[in-house]
A and B are shown apart, each in its own frame.
Chain A
């Protein structure tokens, strides 16, 4: 009898799984009405990266609300299909499969990390659905297919801008490089070095560290100190940058530091205090920017959520904006949306003037910031 019971249990579970799966599939398809256009937002809403997903969720919702209040797309209201991918490559492919089989979804804003984007890309490409990632910086991402777009400057674009900042503005002839050992850090470092050497600078040291594992940078820093560089360039996130800056101060080294747009975070100031004074970095989005597009976005976001948007919110806002722009021209047709999106030129977004190059990577203008008096400040 026990044996039968277990077998029945297996069969019931199977049955539940099948009916359950198909049911949820139908649910999402039935909820969209005729007069609506569905855009999916796929991002991590649970897990370690939920904070970034939250920024995506809020900013895209704000953009959609603004467009809907102004009549939507040809009188049709826009609806967001929000999907959690936990920033896990397996979940991301599941989400992608779900979205491509939902006929109402005309485009996808997401995913957050390059891992999730790359894992999901073949599914989107095969079905012909635009995957427009606000934040994936992996060089291979847009090479996965013609439906992959990104809204963040790759290091190929950012590298030369930062190299120019270091060599010409900060007068760096001998440069030491510290980088984080992940996809982003390695491409950032390589592109920076290539551009800096072209500008006539010399790279005197290249040191790697492992993200969220290396805590003690003193061996790295003493090694670099022997080379007496003019500038230390960091391809790192704010948490490690804070540690590096503080440990440099403790060791009594006083080298100017240059970083990437990844450093633009108020936490850096809280973490490291006056140790980070004088750091130079480029950015796409700066809340202190007097540009009316930016000030409008700031006040709208603050009114809606009672908090200041960060760069992730800003770039998600622009991504949704560009997606809507493309749908306005193409209508709710997946392939036509891809064509129109690729054609977008000089989109005036909160993260700069945005154009796609032939690889569907964006080329955006950047602003230079410096940390002065415990604040990020726009340089000239």
Chain B
């Protein structure tokens, strides 16, 4: 009886959730036609890029529990692959984006391999080192990346002869990419694979003893995350049309990690809100002039002091539920 009621309750919230999501989608489709200034559209597009970056890192750090400080590396690989392929071989955005994402995924796979042996701070250092290696390769491999000269004049994306290099074009492109990322990550997290990720995060040893191939899943997490980061990088390259190694420093990794932590580790809506806040805050605070970065830091500190689990930190409740479940099981076992 009780369980049926619970189910009913769950259904009604699920339904209202669906309605809200549908309304949100309908509203967001209207955005480019609301006569907003180009600046607002640009901010929304930047938020979109960081939603993809944040969500992909969240998969590794928030769900699989592996601290990565090198996410900007995959972002850079995607951006550079896309830029080089489109400027030298004149490939279209859809091919370069796919190639960029796949190459980033390949490097994610390679970086995932050492994680077999490392965890915690040691893993963080490896990813940090990887990020620096990518940046320095981009800086010094002149023949391929033009080094510090950067790659200017990356063409705007187009599809079937339709130029997407307009505000509306870019908006819908990033909209589709971000939506695809959200849906994919949501599906992954709520699947068997996602459960395995969470199990690894909560207790790797226990997960292993339950028969989860932790190695495989950790590498998988890195590969998927790198794929989406590479996709974001491709879009960024075609959007800003100029990239150089300075755009992909360690600071970029920290920015992405801040989005994940501020929004809440292991929370998809949290990451979206985190991206919204961290990307737009510097622009909101512009009126403070010299003090704006101080305020930006202060906002972050206050946020983390009042809500250390992040704005939508879901991990804690989940742990609680898990604990409850496990205690029930152990009680039963006692009987």
Partner of B240, one of A13, A83, A93: A93
A1-38: CB near B (< 8 Å → 1, else 0) gives 00110110111011001101110110000000000000
A24-B284 in contact given A18-B40, A89-B240 (Cβ < 8 Å): yes
Interface residues on A, range: 35 or more
B5 CB, min distance to chain A CBs, angstroms:
16
Give complex CA distance A6, B152 in Å: 42
Contact across chains for A17 and B280 when beta carbons are under 8 A apart: yes
The stretch of A113-121, A245-253, A344-352 that contacts the partner chain: A113-121
Give complex CA distance A119, B151 in Å: 10
Cβ–Cβ < 8 Å partners of B162 in chain A: none
Contact across chains for A181 and B139 when beta carbons are under 8 A apart: yes
Contact across chains for A122 and B149 when beta carbons are under 8 A apart: no
Give complex CA distance A85, B186 in Å: 35
Tell me whether A84 is interfacial, beta carbon within 8 Å: yes
Cβ–Cβ < 8 Å partners of A139 in chain B: 149
Contact across chains for A46 and B17 when beta carbons are under 8 A apart: no
Tell me whether A101 is interfacial, beta carbon within 8 Å: yes
Tell me whether B15 is interfacial, beta carbon within 8 Å: no
Cβ–Cβ < 8 Å partners of B36 in chain A: 18, 21-22
Contact across chains for A25 and B46 when beta carbons are under 8 A apart: no
Residues 125-173 (chain B) with a chain A CB within 8 angstroms = 136, 139-140, 142, 147-150, 152-153
Cβ–Cβ < 8 Å partners of A288 in chain B: none
Contact across chains for B246 and A115 when beta carbons are under 8 A apart: yes
Q: Pick from B142, B152, B280 the residue with the most CB of A within 10 Å.
A: B152
Partner of B13, one of A3, A14, A101, A121: A3
Cβ–Cβ < 8 Å partners of B13 in chain A: 3
Q: Which residue of B lies closest to A144 (CB)?
A: B152
Residues 76-117 (chain A) with a chain B CB within 8 angstroms = 82-84, 86, 89-91, 93-94, 97-98, 100-101, 115
Contact across chains for A183 and B37 when beta carbons are under 8 A apart: no
Cβ–Cβ < 8 Å partners of A45 in chain B: 289-290
Contact across chains for B148 and A97 when beta carbons are under 8 A apart: no
B288 CB, min distance to chain A CBs, angstroms:
10
Q: Which residue of B lies closest to A211 (CB)?
A: B148
Q: Which residue of B lies closest to A90 (CB)?
A: B46
Q: Which residue of B lies closest to A45 (CB)?
A: B290
Tell me whether B212 is interfacial, beta carbon within 8 Å: no
B244-282: CB near A (< 8 Å → 1, else 0) gives 101100000000000000000000010011001100101
A9-B273 in contact given A24-B287, A93-B240 (Cβ < 8 Å): yes
Cβ–Cβ < 8 Å partners of B293 in chain A: 46-47, 86
Cβ–Cβ < 8 Å partners of B37 in chain A: 21-22, 25, 101
A89-B242 in contact given A46-B293, A97-B38, A100-B38 (Cβ < 8 Å): yes
Partner of B289, one of A14, A82, A186: A82
Q: Which residue of A lies closest to B152 (CB)?
A: A140
B33-50: CB near A (< 8 Å → 1, else 0) gives 000111110110010000
Partner of A25, one of B39, B140, B289: B39
Cβ–Cβ < 8 Å partners of A47 in chain B: 293
Contact across chains for A115 and B247 when beta carbons are under 8 A apart: yes
Q: Which residue of A lies closest to B291 (CB)?
A: A46
Contact across chains for A89 and B152 when beta carbons are under 8 A apart: no
Q: Which residue of A lies closest to B239 (CB)?
A: A93
Partner of B269, one of A6, A21, A90, A115: A6
Partner of B43, one of A6, A21, A84: A21
Tell me whether B55 is interfacial, beta carbon within 8 Å: no
Contact across chains for A94 and B289 when beta carbons are under 8 A apart: no
Contact across chains for B46 and A22 when beta carbons are under 8 A apart: no
User: Hey, which bits of chain B sit against chain A, CB under 8 A?
Assistant: 13, 16-17, 20, 24, 36-40, 42-43, 46, 136, 139-140, 142, 147-150, 152-153, 240-242, 244, 246-247, 269, 272-273, 276-277, 280, 282-284, 286-287, 289-290, 292-293, 311-312
Known: A20-B284, A122-B242. 14 other contacts (CB 8 A): A6-B312, A13-B276, A14-B276, A21-B36, A21-B39, A22-B37, A24-B283, A82-B289, A115-B150, A119-B240, A121-B242, A122-B240, A181-B140, A185-B148
Between-chain CB contacts (< 8 Å), 11 pairs: A17-B43, A20-B284, A21-B36, A22-B36, A46-B293, A90-B240, A94-B42, A97-B38, A101-B39, A122-B241, A122-B242
Closest 7 CB pairs of A and B: A182-B148, A21-B40, A118-B242, A183-B148, A46-B293, A97-B39, A183-B149
